[in-house]
Structure 1
Amino acid sequence: MSSAETQSAPHAESPGKSRWSRWKRPLTMLFFLALIVLFTMLARRIEWNEVFDTLADFKVRTLIIASGLTLVSFLVYACFDLIGRTYIRQDLTWKQILPVGIISYAFNLNLSAWVGGIAMRYRLYSRLGVSKANIAKILGLSLATNWFGYMVIAGAVFSSGLVRMPPGWKLSSTALQGVGVLLLLVSAGYLAACQFSKRREWSIRGVEINLPSLRMAVLQLALGALNWSLMAAVIFTLLPSKLDYPLVLGVLLISAIAGVITHIPAGLGVLEAVFVALLQHEASRGSLVAGLLAYRAIYFILPLLITLVMYLVVEAKAKSLRIAKKPG
């Protein structure tokens, strides 16, 4: 009887496996086709001559500093996924995680969060043998790290009154300070929950969510805030020297909210509009637009071109990097 059960088990699983085998190749081709279409659309939107002309006006030293800060920022963002290892039961090394984090971030910035933050992570992590449940945990922790880090630093900057909103805007300077205080309270509430909550696990639609320890939560907030600070540092390097860094940071944080609300990939136009509106009395419109164009080239376009090559390498080496399945 045991031999019959042994023989019947594979047959019971074969229909599901065969269906997946039939759909796997077409879905993979569809994924790559979608990427090609998105890349083509993005390339057509970019005024390449304007980009090259703008970069040529900057000192080489300035471009090197901005590029170095960009590299550090991408590494910090990739660490969002790295700390996710704490909550999964699969052995992942930093050599497997960091490339996925870097690639996802570049695609996220240029092709929207759905493509980079979600689809690309699912594609690459599944190729590495990570289960869907664990991919969801890594993604959730990464999103929490980014936005709780945003809340901490935005709360501090907004509540300090460093950024003054222009007359006529729906959000006044006083209201912005109130938003800052609210963000700080939410961040403090998250830390308090991590420290004192007796319930540590939730299940939402079959996905297990674990509340991190206080130490891990502090690390999340620190990494998230650091990445936003580095993004502002890149812009600050490329804008006129008379602008103060805290002011540039505050304007970036405001533009990030506007970019999320409008759902425009790479926040096209939103970033420039917010910076010009808030800083037009501090620097000329031309210098602001030139600096932001250089920022897009260094922080968005260049990393995307590099990570496209990285993505192809990871796809090619996915089998050798795949996690070994543990018996039983």
Structure 2
Amino acid sequence: MHKKLQLNGNFLFGLLLLAISVWAIANELREYNYHDILRAIASIPLQSLSWAIGFTAMGYFVMVGYDILGFAYIHRSLHWQKIALTNFISSSFSNTIGFALLTGSAIRYRFYSRWQVSKIAIAQIIAFVNFTFWLGMFTVAGLLFLIHPFVIPLQLHLPFTTVSPLGWIFLSLMGIYLIGSLVIHRPLIIRNHEFRLPSFQTSLMQIIISSLDWIFAASVLYSLLPINTAYNYLDFLGIYLLAMFAGVVSNVPGGLGVFETVILLMLSNKISAAAVLAAMLAYRGVYYFLPLLLATALLIFDEVKSSTQYIIKK
């Protein structure tokens, strides 16, 4: 009886995920008219679009490393294909819909629990993945904000006029984390919860994987900007990270609106606003919409497969 209820619960949860994916796709099409997306992509050279798709594929491939490293951190093993499937679907949903702690976590719980991973282990992996996501941001942004500082738009209402103070803050946090992973070997007790810092080697791998994730994501949009853009990649990467930081902190799905505003404010003085908007529309389509579409198809296939198996067993 309990097993039957669990199967029905999993099936209903799967339908809920499908409904969320349909909503996310409809929301993308409503915010950016379907024909506008096609026109924006059509105006971009095929070579630039190919680069963008390639960087997107590499970015989502790198993201699989989050979960693989998470399993290594808790000393558990699972076939890499199962990890890759779970990570891709959860990343596609959380990147587009936002609220990663809800969307991505729910999908990870659904799939990993099916493969006999305990609730505690899943919670540890989720915490590890979400924490790792920020390490690359702090590392890459910290370095760039100090090497290539630029003025922060007044519209963001930040307490700094340039990004240099943010660079010092980010790198200081990273330094504290690395030193802690090197010298602290006992678990930390915070509010009756036990936290164990990863080894120094694992911490370095977290930084490398997360940094590559951010670098590839920025490369997607940069490759879609006009070829003769006045910004080199490092300058643009700093602007992109500031825009993404503002978008993620806002918790708006996909940083929608916040991200575009910062990019436009920073680039429109050297690149036409129309060209920037076209690139961002194509970026949304390539980096968010296409992976979500593929993830939804995989989710539907998985639900059909699971339902078929359930009917056969019944």
TM-score (norm 2): 0.87
Alpha carbons 1:70, 1:234 under 8 Å: kept: yes
Q: Name the % identity.
A: 29
1:30 CA displacement = 4.3
Partner amino acid, structure 2, of 1:225: S
Partner amino acid, structure 1, of 2:249: I
Alpha carbons 1:255, 1:271 under 8 Å: kept: yes
1:144 CA displacement = 1.7
1:235 CA displacement = 1.1
Partner amino acid, structure 1, of 2:57: L
Deviations 1:65-100 (Å, cap 9, x if unpaired)? 110011000011111111112133543011110111
Which residue number corresponds to residue 35 of structure 2? 49
Distance change (3 Å), C-alpha of 1:170 and 1:193: same
1:45 CA displacement = 3.2
Partner amino acid, structure 1, of 2:301: V
Deviations 1:105-134 (Å, cap 9, x if unpaired)? 111111112453222211222223221111
Residue 234 in 1 paired to residue 250 in 2? no
Q: For structure 1, list consecutive stretches of 5 or more residues without a partner in the other structure.
A: 1-13, 320-328
Distance change (3 Å), C-alpha of 1:279 and 1:25: closer
Alpha carbons 1:55, 1:294 under 8 Å: kept: yes
Residue 118 in 1 paired to residue 99 in 2? no
Question: After superposition, where does 1:159-308 map in structure 2 within 5 Å?
Answer: 159-166=146-153, 170-171=157-158, 174-200=161-187, 202=189, 209-240=195-226, 241-242=228-229, 243-308=231-296
Partner amino acid, structure 1, of 2:259: L
Matched residues in 1 for 2:7 and 2:94: separation?
Answer: 29
Residue 135 in 1 paired to residue 122 in 2? yes
Matched residues in 1 for 2:21 and 2:45: separation?
Answer: 34
Matched residues in 2 for 1:152 and 1:73: separation?
Answer: 17
Matched residues in 2 for 1:318 and 1:93: separation?
Answer: 19
1:23 CA displacement = 5.2
CA RMSD in angstroms, aligned pairs only:
2.7
Matched residues in 2 for 1:27 and 1:303: separation?
Answer: 21
Partner amino acid, structure 1, of 2:274: G
Matched residues in 2 for 1:51 and 1:203: separation?
Answer: 47
Judge which range, 54-63 or 309-318, deviates more: 309-318
Residue 82 in 1 paired to residue 73 in 2? no
Alpha carbons 1:161, 1:173 under 8 Å: kept: no
Which residue number corresponds to residue 85 of structure 2? 99
1:204 CA displacement = 6.3
Distance change (3 Å), C-alpha of 1:90 and 1:236: same
1:21 CA displacement = 6.5
Matched residues in 1 for 2:182 and 2:161: separation?
Answer: 32
1:262 CA displacement = 2.1
Residue 65 in 1 paired to residue 51 in 2? yes
Matched residues in 1 for 2:14 and 2:282: separation?
Answer: 35
1:27 CA displacement = 4.8
> Which protein is bigger by CA-based radius of gyration?
1
Distance change (3 Å), C-alpha of 1:205 and 1:299: farther
